[in-house]
Structures are given as C-alpha cells and as structure tokens.
C-alpha cells in the first residue's frame, strides 16, 4: 500500500507525502520499539488497512461548507486516508490529506485550505486508533467503526470539525498502473497536460505531465476513465476521444499513447 498512495487532482500540496515517508522511513523504523501492536496483531492491522475517502464532515456529506476564516468561505471537498499494515522491515504507516479550499483567492495568510499528515499508527483500543505524526502534529487519536456488512470507517477530529472517512479499497485489492504518454504530431513529448483518472471503484486521481510527457496512476483493476486538458498551444484532434476508457490489469503497467496537435 505504501507504493499505492493516490493523489486527488484538486489537492494543492505544499509538500510531498511520498517524499516525507522516504526521508523518515529509517528514523521511524528505529524510533518505535516494536512493529507489533500491543492491542492488535498483524491480522487486525490487515483487517482495517486500505485507502479511505472522505465522505462527510460533521455528519453532512461532502462537499459541504465548514466554518469560514478571515471572511473567506470554505468548502470541505475531498480527502484521502491511507492506512497500511506493518511489513517485514516497516511499521504500520498512514498518510491523509484533506482539501478545504476558500472562495477568496489569493486567500489571506492564516486561512486553512486543507492539511496533510504522515506517520505511524497503532490500535489504542478496539475502537480507537492512535497516530504518531512525522510532520510535527504530535500524537492524536481517531474513532474506528466496524460493523458487519459495511466497510470500516475512521473519524478524525480536526479544528472543531469531525471528518469521517470510509474505506474504498483494501490494501491487497488487485491493482495495476496506467501510464499515459502525450506527444505532438511530430512525436515530441508534451508537458503540462492536466489529467484526471476515475477508477472502477470511483476513486479519483490525477496530475500533470512533466517534460517527458508521461504520467501514471495506480488503481484497482477494471475500467478507468481518463480525461485531460492540453496546455496552451495544443489542441485535441477530432479522432482522439476525451475522456477515454482503458482497462487496468492486475500487476501490469501498460502505456497509452495520446497524440495532440501543436498549433
């Protein structure tokens, strides 16, 4: 699951959770006395591990308004919460991101437009998880809900609001990677293409092509719908569907080539 962290296209990040996890991996491993929870064994960790998506704030389905700040209205839109079990040489890890953009742009300093965190986790009780931040947020806990026939849910309290995440996929669900390669009519890579991915389970992801013109995302097997917006100076030829649908296969990483017209 560590390698499957999925980013949501609309989230504006100031730091990379993936980079933080790489840098902190060694210190995290040695800082904890044991990789085994004193409240739950590895099977318990695997039972709840997976990718969770934000479903409601203060009991209201997202997107929903939250408390304004400095005269700016804010909307809780999307969020993800990754929980992974311990491995042979790693402790149980987590990362989460919450997106709460403001309607006043540029937003004044002090307006909270979202947050993120990464670190290690454990069972505090059978219905409570405890998280230890590697980004200076200290230790905090969250409620865990498990009921027969329903996916588990994690409720995180933050700044007076209650954020409820429900698991969308298990950590061991079959997954694959889709790469999209953008080139112009001369075969040159196109940077700056903004992509959106919607996987078979409804998970949304996305990003922007770098100088190589290539961008990839991981998701569950099945049909994946990919939409894109070319950068200025490029157009989409009539023969190219947008969005288009590809199939994600377990353990595979195919490349899809898309040709744009340089105008």
CATH number of residue 88's parent domain: 2.40.128.280
CA-CA distances (angstroms) from residue 241 to 217, 246, 247? 19, 12, 15
The tally of domains found in the chain comes to: 2
Q: Report long-range pairs for 58-62 (Cβ below 8 Å, ≥24 apart).
A: 58/161, 58/162, 59/162, 59/164
Give yes or no: residues 63 and 117 share one domain: yes
Last residue of a domain, one of 120, 150, 170: 170
Chain segment 71-98, per-residue pLDDT in tens: 999 999 999 999 999 988 889 999 999 9
Give yes or no: residues 230 and 110 share one domain: no
CATH number, residue 220: 2.60.40.10
Whole-number pLDDT of residue 119: 97
Whole-number pLDDT of residue 40: 55
Per the structure, the complete domain to which residue 222 belongs is given by 175-262
Instruction: Return the SS3 of 90.
Output: coil
C-beta separation of 18 from 131 below 8 A: no
The CA distance from 10 to 100, in Å, is 10
pTM: 0.75
pLDDT at position 28 over 70:
no
């Amino acid at each position: 699951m560590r390698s499957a962290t999925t980013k949501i296209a609309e989230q504006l990040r100031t730091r990379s959770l993936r980079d933080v996890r790489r840098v902190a991996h060694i210190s995290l491993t040695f800082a904890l006395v044991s990789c085994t929870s004193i409240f739950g064994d590895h099977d318990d960790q695997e039972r709840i591990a997976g990718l969770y998506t934000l479903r409601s704030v203060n009991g209201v389905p997202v997107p929903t308004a939250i408390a304004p700040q400095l005269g700016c209205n804010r909307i809780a839109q999307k969020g993800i919460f990754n929980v992974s079990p311990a491995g042979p040489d790693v402790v149980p890890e987590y990362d989460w991101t919450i997106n709460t953009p403001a309607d006043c742009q540029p937003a004044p300093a002090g307006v909270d437009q979202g947050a993120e965190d990464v670190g290690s986790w454990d069972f505090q009780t059978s219905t409570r998880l405890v998280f230890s931040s590697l980004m200076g947020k200290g230790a905090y806990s969250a409620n865990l809900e498990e009921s027969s026939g329903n996916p588990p849910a994690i409720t995180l309290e933050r700044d007076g609001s209650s954020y409820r995440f429900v698991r969308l996929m298990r950590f061991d669900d079959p997954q694959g990677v889709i790469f999209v390669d953008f080139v112009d009519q001369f075969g040159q890579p196109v940077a700056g293409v903004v992509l959106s991915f919607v996987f078979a389970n409804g998970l949304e992801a996305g990003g922007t092509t770098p100088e190589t013109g290539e961008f990839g995302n991981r998701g569950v097997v099945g049909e994946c719908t990919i939409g894109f917006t070319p950068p200025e100076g490029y157009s989409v030829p009539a023969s190219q569907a947008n969005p288009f649908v590809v199939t994600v296969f377990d353990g595979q990483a195919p490349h899809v080539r898309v040709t744009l017209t340089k105008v």
